[in-house]
Structure 1
Amino acid sequence: MSIYDERPWLAHYDPGVPADLDPGFTDVLQMFADSVARAPHAEVLRYFDGRISAAELDRLADAFACALLDNGIRAGDRVGLYLQNVPQFVIAILGTWKAGCVAVAINPMNKHRELAGLLHDSGASALVCLETLYRDVAAEVLPETDVRWTVTTSELDHQSRDDPRAFGAVRRIPGLPTADMARLLEEYRGRRPPPVRFAPDDVAVLTYTSGTTGPPKGAMNTHRNVVVNAHVYRDWIGLDGGDVILGVAPLFHITGLIGHIGLSLLLPAPLVLTHRFHPGLTAETVREHGVTFTVGAITVFIALLNDPEVRAQDLAGLRKVYSGGAPIPPSTADAFEQHFGAYIHNTYGLTETSSPATDVPLRARAPVDPASGALSVGVPVCSTVMRVVDERGADLPAGRIGEIVVQGPQVVPGYWNKPEETAAALPGGALRTGDVGYMDESGWFYLVDRKKDQINAGGYKVWPREVEDVLYEHPAVREAAVVGVADDYRGETVQAFVSLRPGRTASAEELIEFCRGRMAAYKYPRLVEIRDELPKTLTGKLLRRALRGT
C-alpha cells in the first residue's frame, strides 16, 4: 500500500469534515433552487447600499433567461460575460443557465485581440458587457464574431451610492446600439423560462486558461464541478448562512466563480461586491458589512497590509481568510496576522480543478518547507486524490520531487473543442498540472517549481509567447523573449528582453507602452531590457532560461 492509499492527510481534517463528499445535487440550478426554498428572504448579493435576496435573484435570473430566449438564443448556446464584479454578473450567469446555455467567463481586462479570440473559440452567440467595455473594445470586435445579441449594463446599477473610489468618472453612455440589461429585467419581470435540467457532466461555464504551447484553452467546468467545490468551500472552512463573503477575487476567475458565486448560492449567504478592488474601500466594506470570509490572491492582502488608510479594527471580523493562485511568502502571512489578527490559509487549485484541490484546514497552520522556506499549499480536500509522479507517470514516494497530478470530482473533463490538448493534460481523467512539488510524510503538499514557462503574476497566468507576439508587432523589434522575474508584490512580474532591427530605435518605456495598449494589464511587461543579441541554442531557438535571474 502506497502513502497515497493510506491517506495520512485525513488526520488534518477538522472533526466532521467528510473525507468523501456527496453534495446531493446534480446541477447548479438544483442547488440554488434548494437555497431559495430554504431561505427565500436571505440576502445573497450586496453592492454598496443595494441588496438582493435569494428569491429576488431567482426572479431576476428568470427574467434574463426569458430575454435571452426571446432574442434568438437557444439551449446549448454560449453566452459571454465581459463584466467586473457587479451584481449583473451573477444575474446573467444564473439567467444563462436557466435558458439552458453555457456561460463564457471573460476577463474584463482583455483587449481587442483577446476578446476576439475567446468569442471565436467559444462560438458565443450572445455577449453581456459593461457599457464602457462595449464602447472601448467590444464594438470593434463583434462584427467579426458569431455574436447575434449584445446586452450592455452599467456598474452604477443596483446601488445608489456613487463612490468615487469605485467608479471614478464613470457615467452611463446613451444611445448604444445594444439591449440595456436594466430595461430587459424590468420588461421581462414576472416571466419564467421553461424548466431546465442539466446532467452532472453538462458544461456550466467555460473558463479560459493559457498554456505554454498555444492560445488560451476553454476549460469545461461542469455543473458537477461547480456544485462539488462549492460544497468543499462550505464543509472545509465551516461556512453557513451566518457568514458574509467578500468578493475580492474577479468573478470571471475560477476562484470568484466557485468561492464567491457558487458558495453564496449554496449557503445562501451574502456576497459583498465592490465593482473593483481598492484597499481603503475594501476595508470599509469589511467593517460595514461584517464580512467574515474571503479568498483571493495574496496581492489583495499585501495591499491591505501596506495601505495607511486600513486600520486593524477595520478587519476585526474577518477571521476566515484564504489565498491561492500565487505563493504566499511566510513573512507576509506573519505580518498580516500580527497586524490584523487573521492567519492567511493557503489553498491550491487550477482552472482545471474548478478552484481548490488542496487547502490548509481552518484551525491548522501550514508547515514550512525547510529547503525553500515556502509554505505548504495544504492537504487534499474532500474526495480528492493527489499524487506526485516522475516523467514516466509512476508514483513517487513522500519527499521526492515530481509533477503533481490531481484526481477528483472537481477536475474538468477537458478543453472546449481541443481533444489533443485534453488527452495530453488529462490522461484517464487525471490532471497533469505541470506544477512541480512534493508531499511530505504527513501528507502536506509543497510547490517548488514550475514545469512550464508560464508566468504567475499575482494569481494571473501569463503565456510568454503571447507577450512576445505583441512585441514582434512593433516595427523596431527584431527578437523578443519574455520571462517571469521575482516581484515582492505580485510574486512574479513580466520582463521582456528585446533586440532591435538594424537602423531602428526604441526605448524600453516605448515598448512597455506599446504592449500596455494591446494587452490586459496583468500581461504587459513591467520591465524591458534592450540587448544587442539574445541567447540562443545552436539551432537558433531563443533561450528563455538563460535570461532568468540576469
Structure 2
Amino acid sequence: MSVYDKRPWLARYGDQPADYDLEFDDALSMFRAGVQRDPDGDALRYFDGTVVRRDLDATTDALAAGLLDAGLRRGDRVAVYLQNVPQFVLAVVGTWKAGGVVVPINPMSRARELSYLLADSGAAVLVCLEHLHDEVAREVVPGTGVHLVLTTSGLDLQTRDDQRLFAGVTRQRHEGTTDLLGFVERYRGRTPPPVDLGPDDVAFLTYTSGTTGVPKGAMNTHRNVVFTAQVYRDWMRAGRDGPVLALAPLFHITGLIGHVAVSLLAPAPLVLAYRYEPRVVLDALLEHRPAFTIGAITALTGLVDAPGCTRDHFASLTSVYSGGAAISPAAERRFLEATGTRVHNAYGLTETTSPMTVTPFGTPGPVDPASGALSVGVPAPNTVVRIQDDDGHDLPLGEVGEIVAEGPQVVPGYWGKPEQTAVDLPGGALRSGDVGIMDPEGWVYIVDRKKDMINASGYKVWPREVEDVLAEHPAVRESAVIGVPDERRGETVKAFVSLRPGTSATPEDLIAHCRERMAAYKYPRSVVLLDELPKTVTGKILRRELRGT
C-alpha cells in the first residue's frame, strides 16, 4: 500500500471536506463575490489607512481601464515589484480585470535578477516602488519589453509617517515613469469591458528560487488559486474569524494565497505592514487584532523573541500556521509556551500554489519516532501524495523516498520551459525534490532535501534531524547543518548556530548536547556560532551560502 484512504482519518480527526469542487471558475469572480457580500467592509488595512471593498473594486476598475488604454492585451504580463503595500493587491486585481497575468517579484531582487525575470516573463508593464526604480529598475527596464512603468511609495495609503520603516523616505518622481495612483485617478469612473477568465488561464507567474538552476516561472492558474484559497479557508480556518495578517511577503506563494487570495475569498480584511519588522508587526497585532496568519517559523519566533512581546499580542489569533520552512518539535513547543497559541504546520511549493499537505485546524501534528520530525500534515482535499524511489516507483507507507504530489493545486508547467516541465512535472505530478515519509494514517514527514543529504562513512545523515536536535538546546535560536569534506569519513557534519537573546553556549556545549542524543556518525564535529544565519526573504535558511564558509 502506497496511498492512504483519507476517509477513516477524516471521521476521526475533523469536519474538513475530503473533496470538493471549485466555488468559482476564476480568482476575479472570487473577488467580485466578496465585494457583493460585504461592499463596505475593510478589504485592506495599512497602518492607520483602510480601503473598503467597494473602493477597491472601483479603483481596480480604473487601473484595468488604464492598462487596456495603454495597450495591455489579454494574457500580457504585469510585473509587480513591491513590498507588502495596498498597491500590491490593487495591481493584482486590476491586472486580472484587464485579462493579464501577474508576475510577483521579490523586492530584494537586484539588477541581474530583475533583468532575467522581466525578460523571461516578457512583462509589458512594471509596477514598482519609487526607490526600487531609482536603485535598480531604471537601468534595467530600457533593455526589456516593458513599455509602461507605474511607480508608487510605501508612504501612500497610510495616515502616519512611521519612522521605524520610513525614516528619511521622500516621494520621488523619475523620467519615463507614471505615478500609479495618479494614473488610477485619470481613469476613475471608467469600467473595463468584461473579461472572460477560465480555470486554466494563468493568474500568477511565480518564479522558483533557482537553487538548482535558473529560476523557473511556475504557471499558477486561476483553478490553482481558487482551490488553494478554499483549502486555507476550510482546513486552516483562514479568514473565518476576522482579519488576516500578512506576515509572509506577498510576492511569495504563501503570501499570494495565504494572505491575498484567501482574504478575497472569505472575505476578510488583509492587514499589511510594508515588510517584516518585529516591532511593527507586534504593533499591528495589537491595533488590528487579526485572527489568522501564516509565515515562516523564523518570523514567528522572531516576534516572540522581540523586546516587549507578550501573550496579549497573540490573543486575537485563533489560527496560526507555518509555511516556507520546516518546524522542529522544540520550536512548536516554545511558540505554544510563549503565546498560548499552537502553530500548525503546512507544506507546499511554488509549483503546488502553496499547500499540498495541511495539518487540519485544531489537530496537533504527530512526531515521527524514527526521524524526530514534526508532521507537515496530511494531503489536502482532492490531492494524492506519494512517496517514490529514484525510478518513480511508489514505496510502501513508512519508507523514505521523494514526495510526489498531484491535484488541483499543481501547476500545469513552467513558463517557456517544456523540457523542465517534463522532468519536474511528469504526467502532471510534481516531483518535489524533498525526501519524506508517509505513515498509515496519511501524516507526511519531511526528512530533508534530496540534494542536502550527507554521506558520512557510508551512512545517510539528514541535516533536518541534526537541526531538530540542536533546537532542543535552550540557547539555540536557529541552526543549519551541512556536509563538509572529510578525509576519513568522506563527509562529516558541520553546524552553524545562532543563539537566543540573553543566552550563551559554546560550540563544545552544542556538540556534547548532540552527541548525547544521536548516533556517533550523526552529531556535528564542528559548530560555528553566528549572529544571524543567511536566509531568503521568506525565512528559509540558505545552506548554499554556508557551504563556502
Partner of 1:345: 344
2:99 aligned counterpart, secondary structure: coil
1:322 maps to what in 2?
321
1:168 Cα deviation after fit? 2.7
Residues 433, 22 of structure 1: alpha-carbon distance in 2 compared, 3 angstrom cutoff: same
**Alignment of 1:28 onto 2:27:** yes
3-state DSSP of counterpart to 1:129: strand
Instruction: Pick closer, same or farther for the CA change 1:528–1:407 going to 2, 3 Å.
Output: closer
Please tell me the residue identity of whatever aligns with 2:331: T
**Aligned-residue offset at 1:527:** 5.0
**TM superposition shift of 1:335:** 1.2
Residue identity in the other structure for 1:352: E
CA distance in 2: counterparts of 1:350 and 1:381, whole angstroms: 13
Residues 231 and 6 of structure 1, relative CA distance in 2, 3 Å threshold? closer
Distance 2:417 2:248 in 1: 28
Equivalent position of 1:385 in the other structure: 384
Deviations 1:280-312 (A, max 9, x none): 211111111111110001111110111122122
Match of 1:109 in 2: 108
1:126–1:147 CA contact under 8 A, matched in 2? yes
Query: Contact conserved, 2:353 with 2:409, CA < 8 A, in 1?
Result: yes
Partner of 1:69: 68
TM-score, normalization: structure 2? Answer: 0.83
> 1:269 maps to which residue?
268
For 2:264, give the aligned amino acid: L
3-state DSSP class of the match of 2:451? coil
State whether residues 85 and 251 of structure 1, in contact with CA within 8 Å, keep that contact through their aligned partners in structure 2: yes
Distance 1:152 1:316 in 2: 37
Q: Does 1:363 align with 2:362?
A: yes
| Residue 400 (structure 1) aligns with | 399
Aligned length: 479
Amino acid at match of 2:309: V
- Equivalent residues of 2:35, 2:54 under 8 A apart: yes
Aligned to 1:299: 298
Query: Could you say which residue in structure 2 is the equivalent of 1:238?
Result: 237
Structure 2 counterparts to residues 273-284 of structure 1, below 5 A: 273-284=272-283
* Equivalent in the alignment of 1:426: 425
Query: Separation in 1 of the partners of 2:91 and 2:2?
Result: 46
Equivalent residues of 2:4, 2:440 under 8 A apart: no
Q: CA 1:388/1:525 → structure 2, altered by over 3 Å: closer, same or farther?
A: closer
Aligned twin of 1:144: 143
Matches within 5 A, 1:48-63: 48-63=47-62
SS of the counterpart of 2:127? strand
Work out whether residues 356 and 379 of structure 2, in 8 Å CA contact, stay in contact via their aligned partners in 1. yes
* Counterpart Cα distance in 2 of 1:439 and 1:147: 46
Tell me, in whole angstroms, the C-alpha distance in 1 between the residues paired with 2:18 and 2:494.
37
Q: Secondary structure at 1:364's aligned position in 2? A: coil
In structure 2, the partner of 1:228 is 227
Q: Secondary structure at the match of 1:227?
A: helix
Structure 2: gaps (5+ residues): 454-462, 468-481, 483-492, 501-533
- Separation in 2, partners of 1:443, 1:524: 29
* 1:238 CA displacement: 2.9
1:327 Cα deviation from its structure 2 partner: 1.1
Alpha carbons 1:7, 1:443 under 8 Å: kept: no
Aligned to 1:254: 253
Amino acid in the other structure paired with 1:129: C
Q: Distance in 2 between matches of 1:222 and 1:109?
A: 25
Counterpart amino acid of 1:128? V
1:23 touches 1:227 (CA, 8 Å); kept in 2?
yes
Superposed displacement of residue 489, structure 1: 8.1
> Which segment is superposed worse, 365-374 or 136-145?
365-374
Which stretch shows the higher mean deviation, 38-47 or 130-139?
A: 38-47
Contact 1:27–1:223 under 8 Å retained in 2: yes
Equivalent residue, structure 2, for 1:163: 162
Deviation at 1:371, TM superposition (A): 2.3
Alpha carbons 2:92, 2:102 under 8 Å: kept: yes
Deviation at 1:41, TM superposition (A): 1.0
Paired AA for residue 96 in structure 2: W
1:288 alignment partner in structure 2: 287
CA shift at 1:167, angstroms? 2.0
Q: Which residue of 2 aligns with 1:119?
A: 118
d(CA) in 2 for partners of 1:334, 1:151: 45
The one-letter amino acid of 1:281's match is: V
Tell me the amino acid that sits aligned with residue 178 of structure 2.
A
Counterpart-to-counterpart distance in 2, 1:346 and 1:415: 27
Question: Partners of 1:250 and 1:124 in 2: how far apart?
Answer: 21
1:195 aligns with 2:194: yes
CA distance in 2, matches of 1:489, 1:84: 29
Alpha-carbon shift at residue 485 of structure 1 (Å): 5.9
* Residue identity in the other structure for 2:380: V
Deviations 1:87-109 (A, max 9, x none): 00000011011111111010000
The question of whether the paired residues in 1 share the 8 Å contact of 2:237 and 2:292 is answered with no
Under a length normalisation based on structure 1, what TM-score does the superposition of the two structures give? 0.82
User: Do 1:243 and 1:291's aligned partners in 2 also have CA atoms closer than 8 Å?
Assistant: yes
Residues 85, 273 of structure 2: 8 Å contact kept? yes
Is residue 8–residue 443 contact of structure 1 (8 Å, CA) maintained in 2? no
Q: Which moved more, 1:265-274 or 1:238-247?
A: 238-247
Is residue 2:14 matched to residue 1:14? yes
| Matched residue, 1:4 | 4
- Does structure 1 retain, via aligned residues, the 8 Å contact 2:405–2:431? yes
Identity %: 56
Report if the CA contact (8 A) 2:42-2:268 is conserved: yes
Task: Point out the more displaced range, 151-160 or 323-332.
Answer: 323-332
Distance 1:11 1:421 in 2: 40
Structure 1 residue runs without a partner (length 5+): 458-463, 465-482, 491-514, 531-550
Q: Whole-Å Cα distance in 2 between the matches of residues 407 and 8 of structure 1?
A: 21
**C-alpha spacing 1:521/1:139, structure 2 compared with 1 (3 Å):** farther
- Which position in structure 1 is the counterpart of 2:451? 452
Amino acid at match of 1:137: V
Contact 2:239-2:263 at 8 Å conserved across structures:
no
CA offsets 1:422-463 (integer angstroms, 9 cap, x no match) = 011111111111110011122110011211359999xxxxxx
Change (3 A) 1:159 1:230: same
Partner AA of 1:252 in structure 2? F
Task: Name the CA distance, whole Å, in 1 between partners of 2:441 and 2:498.
Answer: 30
Superimposed CA distance per residue, residues 10-36 of structure 1 (whole angstroms, 9 cap, x where no aligned partner) = 346522x21112132110111111111
2:152 aligns with 153
Aligned-residue offset at 1:277:
1.1
Contact (CA 8 Å) 2:6, 2:18: kept in 1 or not?
no
* Structure 1 residue 523 displacement after superposition: 6.5
Q: Which amino acid aligns with 1:4?
A: Y
Q: What amino acid does structure 2 have at the position aligned with 1:415?
A: Y
C-alpha displacement at 1:345, in angstroms? 0.4
SS in 2 for 1:452: helix
What residue in structure 2 maps to residue 93 of structure 1? 92
Q: Hey, what's the Cα distance between the residues in 1 that align with 2:499 and 2:297? A: 8
Helix, strand or coil: the match of 1:248? coil
| TM superposition shift of 1:344 | 0.7
What residue in structure 2 maps to residue 410 of structure 1? 409
Q: 1-side partners of 2:499 and 2:256: how far apart?
A: 24
Counterpart-to-counterpart distance in 2, 1:94 and 1:269: 16
Letter paired with 2:436: G
Q: Do structure 1's residue 313 and structure 2's residue 292 form an aligned pair?
A: no
Give the direction of change, closer, same or farther, for the CA distance of 1:115–1:489 in structure 2 (3 Å limit).
farther
Given residue 55 of structure 1, which amino acid in structure 2 is its aligned partner? Answer: R
- Would the alpha carbon gap of residues 391 and 385 (structure 1) be closer, same or farther in structure 2, given more than 3 Å must change? same
Moved more, 232-241 or 2-11: 2-11
